[in-house]
Amino acid sequence: MSSQAGRIRDADIALVRERSPIDEVVSQRVTLKNAGGGNMKGLCPFHDERSPSFNVSPARGFFHCFGCGVGGDVISFVMRTELLSFAESVQWLADRAGIALTYEESGPAPNRKPGQRQRLIAAHTAAAVFYRQQLLTPGARIARDFLAQRGFDQQAAEQFSCGFASPEWDALSKHLLHQGFSEEELITGGLAKHGGRSGNLIDRFRRRLMWPIRDLTGDIIGFGARRLFDDDDGPKYLNTPETPIYKKSQVLYGVDAAKREIASSHRAVIVEGYTDVMACHLAGIGSAVATCGTAFGADHVGVLRRLLMDQDEFRGEVIFTFDGDAAGQKAAMRAFEDDQKFVAQTFIAISPDDMDPCELRLAHGDTAVRDLVARREPLINFVLRTTIARYDLGTVEGQAAALRATAPLVAKIKDRSLRPGYARRLAGYLGIEVEQTNAAISAELRAPGNNAPAQRAAPDATIDPAVRELEREALRLAVQYPVLAGPHFDAIDETAYLDPVHIAIRRAITAAGGADSATEGPQWIDKVSSACEDLIASSTVSQLAVESARSAADPDQPYVAVVLARLQELAVTRRIAGVKSRLQRMNPVEHTSEYNTLFGELIALEQQKRGLREQAIGGL
Ligand SMILES: [Zn+2]
């Protein structure tokens, strides 16, 4: 969930859910027909299909598509269709239902008062209009020249709402106060501050070229300001400070204009500045965004990940453009070290002439910008190449040192399916046999302290389908009927499940507080789904939520008891087999006491199995 989620009061989120019937919200986008059993069906908005496999359960407040596996509650439907965060989606639904949200008083975030966000956005919107008008005045000639020199005509300036902050101390403040905004609002929003000895209100931005910065929904939440005058001793770029609506770690300039393109092309291009975003968009790279006065970090990844999600899996490319200098290489190395989740999808595009996209467009036109992006190279490739470049491969010592430096990098690639390919490529770069690189990489993986994660168990093809279905039924009961499944379900731990996806869901139910703690409904299902560590598991949860239980009627207590007893019986049977095989391999004379303990365990397990058998049959 988004880090902002906690700031909206839980009671408000519950109210928003209650006043946002899922069938009503979905119907705004999908034509739904009755599908029997109170459920509804339609054509999935998330994948191409001719026959409807998109199911909505109004009673449970959940949707699930059996075609592409996407599912969730009303809030996640809005997140997906409107490309918004959790908090933004709650706000979206609240606006629709006419609910005024209140935000938590506590927490590390600055207190947000009801309606404050709307007021601050209104102030920023008015400020953007003011700056835009100022750009047309005679005094703003230097700003217009700046744009023209970089290849941006008046139309481009209008498209990106460029503006000018005049040299006056308080031009904007006066204008906004006159429009009814308070001093406090201007200061909280980062538009003005108290200045000098007099403590008068003065504008934060003066004598600068201005770009409004918008959030995903298109609301203006801050500004970026470029120095224009030689005698301006401030930084080259000045941005809005942290405010209740502006969080620089999450802000991406251009994201509102780029989000559709990013989502449909599964590609995001990260550039360095405001003019680069403009140049890219004008050159036809509509997926370009830039961070604002901060390095690209984990929160930015979060924003993009949401846009790049496709059918519940992260699919797509994140392309960083660098101007080829040492700083760019360092940044790429850091990206590689930091976020391995992204590594297979991260690309680097380096301009051959050390130019940024804005300079490139100016010198060689739109095609050159598109070529820059087309010439991208996988991050791993780039990192290996630039690391190797530091060594003299003409000598055996140099080759060995380069191998020592690069083998750990390949070993670090979490997606092990990529490793063989990069081992071969590395051998080619170094001019050595692939056996040598393989050996070095394997040694690296075995090295103590290497935290390469254990490979996740692949779905075991040898699991009996009947067993898998039984596990699924138990989980289905816990998801749909937690009150009924309750403590009995919770008493059976994850070792009773064989399918890795089922194990993940069982774990998520524990993480969500257990079935016994739950009350039926979308909030419980959402809690379990959010607690899932992987997307296949959370997608399966939403599937379980809309599937019918296997019992003919609504499940009752005896039915639940039978399902859970059978599940337990199978687990006990497996443990019995394990104990028997250990006993067979053990010498009862040499290990007498251990043998006796194990034998006692076997007797107890056999007894437990008989009891479970009786429960399972008795329940029928
Ligand atoms: Zn679908």
Q: For 532-588, how does the pLDDT look when each residue is reduced to its tens digit (9 = 90+)?
A: 877 778 888 888 888 776 665 678 888 888 899 999 998 888 888 888 877 777 777
Q: How far is the CA of 560 from the centre of ligand 1 (A)?
A: 31
Q: How far is the CA of 347 from the centre of ligand 1 (A)?
A: 29
Q: How far is the CA of 310 from the centre of ligand 1 (A)?
A: 10
Return d(Cα 28, Cα 225) in angstroms, integer. 40
Q: Given the structure tokens 């999450």, which residue do they identify?
A: 250
Question: Which pLDDT score is estimated for 5?
Answer: 37
Question: Which pLDDT score is estimated for 451?
Answer: 45
Q: What is the rounded average pLDDT for all residues in the chain?
A: 85
Dihedral sign of CA atoms 65, 66, 70, 73 in order: positive
Helix (H, G, I), strand (E, B) or coil at 377: strand
Identity (one letter) of the amino acid at 430?
L
pLDDT at residue 453 is higher than 50: no
> Which residues 6+ apart lie within 8 Å of 145 measured at CB?
none
pLDDT at residue 589 is higher than 80: no
Question: Which pLDDT score is estimated for 28?
Answer: 86
Question: Which pLDDT score is estimated for 515?
Answer: 92
pLDDT at residue 423 is higher than 60: yes
- Domains of the chain by residue range: 5-97, 116-239, 252-368, 390-446, 465-618
pLDDT at residue 452 is higher than 60: no
Name the band, by pLDDT with cuts 50, 70 and 90, for residue 459. very low
Return d(Cα 448, Cα 446) in angstroms, integer. 6
**Averaged pLDDT, 398-403:** 89
**Averaged pLDDT, 231-257:** 92
pLDDT at residue 161 is higher than 90: yes
Q: Given the structure tokens 């009891």, which residue do they identify?
A: 611
pLDDT at residue 442 is higher than 90: no
Tens-place pLDDT, residues 76-131: 999 888 778 788 889 889 888 888 887 765 444 444 455 788 889 999 999 999 99
**Rounded to an integer, what is the distance from CA 584 to the centroid of its chain?**
50
The tokens describing 541, both together, are 């949860």
Q: How far is the CA of 543 from the centre of ligand 1 (A)?
A: 12
Identity (one letter) of the amino acid at 18?
E
Q: How far is the CA of 68 from the centre of ligand 1 (A)?
A: 4
Identity (one letter) of the amino acid at 157?
A
Candidate from 37-46, 408-417, 543-552 with smallest mean pLDDT:
543-552
pLDDT at residue 506 is higher than 90: yes
pLDDT at residue 455 is higher than 50: no
Name the band, by pLDDT with cuts 50, 70 and 90, for residue 260. confident
Name the band, by pLDDT with cuts 50, 70 and 90, for residue 313. low
Return d(Cα 387, Cα 376) in angstroms, integer. 18
Question: Which pLDDT score is estimated for 507?
Answer: 93
Percentage of residues of the chain with pLDDT beyond 90:
36
Name the band, by pLDDT with cuts 50, 70 and 90, for residue 601. confident
pLDDT at residue 350 is higher than 90: no
Residues in the chain: 620
Candidate from 41-50, 352-361, 384-393, 458-467 with smallest mean pLDDT:
458-467
Question: Which pLDDT score is estimated for 510?
Answer: 93
**Angle 557-585/482-491 helices, nearest 10 degrees?**
20
Q: How far is the CA of 62 from the centre of ligand 1 (A)?
A: 14
Question: Which pLDDT score is estimated for 458?
Answer: 38
Neighbours of ion ligand 1 (CB under 5 A): 44, 46-47, 65, 67-68
Return the CATH fold of 465-618. Answer: DNAb Helicase; Chain A (1.10.860)
Candidate from 206-215, 384-393, 550-559, 600-609 with smallest mean pLDDT:
550-559
Q: How far is the CA of 55 from the centre of ligand 1 (A)?
A: 9
**Averaged pLDDT, 588-614:** 83
pLDDT at residue 341 is higher than 90: no
| 196 vs 486, residue with greater confidence | 486
Q: How far is the CA of 76 from the centre of ligand 1 (A)?
A: 14
CATH architecture of 5-97: Alpha-Beta Complex (3.90)
Q: How far is the CA of 278 from the centre of ligand 1 (A)?
A: 35
Q: Given the structure tokens 């690391």, which residue do they identify?
A: 387
Question: Which pLDDT score is estimated for 276?
Answer: 95
Candidate from 32-41, 538-547, 609-618 with smallest mean pLDDT:
609-618
The tokens describing 320, both together, are 């960083």
Name the band, by pLDDT with cuts 50, 70 and 90, for residue 6. very low
CATH class entry, domain 252-368 = alpha beta
Question: Which pLDDT score is estimated for 448?
Answer: 58
**Averaged pLDDT, 42-66:** 88
pLDDT at residue 134 is higher than 80: yes
pLDDT at residue 606 is higher than 90: no
pLDDT at residue 299 is higher than 90: no
C-alpha dist (Å) from residue 426 to 344, 409, 438: 16, 11, 10
Question: Which pLDDT score is estimated for 2?
Answer: 36
Q: How far is the CA of 506 from the centre of ligand 1 (A)?
A: 25
Q: How far is the CA of 44 from the centre of ligand 1 (A)?
A: 4
Q: How far is the CA of 540 from the centre of ligand 1 (A)?
A: 13
**Averaged pLDDT, 151-158:** 96
Candidate from 84-93, 306-315, 460-469 with smallest mean pLDDT:
306-315
CATH class entry, domain 116-239 = alpha beta
Question: Which pLDDT score is estimated for 311?
Answer: 46
Q: How far is the CA of 312 from the centre of ligand 1 (A)?
A: 10
Q: How far is the CA of 29 from the centre of ligand 1 (A)?
A: 13
| 548 vs 9, residue with greater confidence | 9
Q: How far is the CA of 63 from the centre of ligand 1 (A)?
A: 10
Contact by Cβ (8 Å): 502, 482: no
**Averaged pLDDT, 418-444:** 87
Contact by Cβ (8 Å): 56, 298: no
Q: How far is the CA of 46 from the centre of ligand 1 (A)?
A: 5
DSSP classification of residue 342: G
C-alpha dist (Å) from residue 452 to 68, 413, 486: 31, 8, 37
Question: Which pLDDT score is estimated for 149?
Answer: 96
**Rounded to an integer, what is the distance from CA 449 to the centroid of its chain?**
29
Q: Distance between terminal CA atoms of the chain?
A: 42
Q: How far is the CA of 476 from the centre of ligand 1 (A)?
A: 21
| 336 vs 109, residue with greater confidence | 336
What residues are paired with 228 via a beta bridge? none
Question: Which pLDDT score is estimated for 325?
Answer: 58
pLDDT at residue 242 is higher than 70: yes
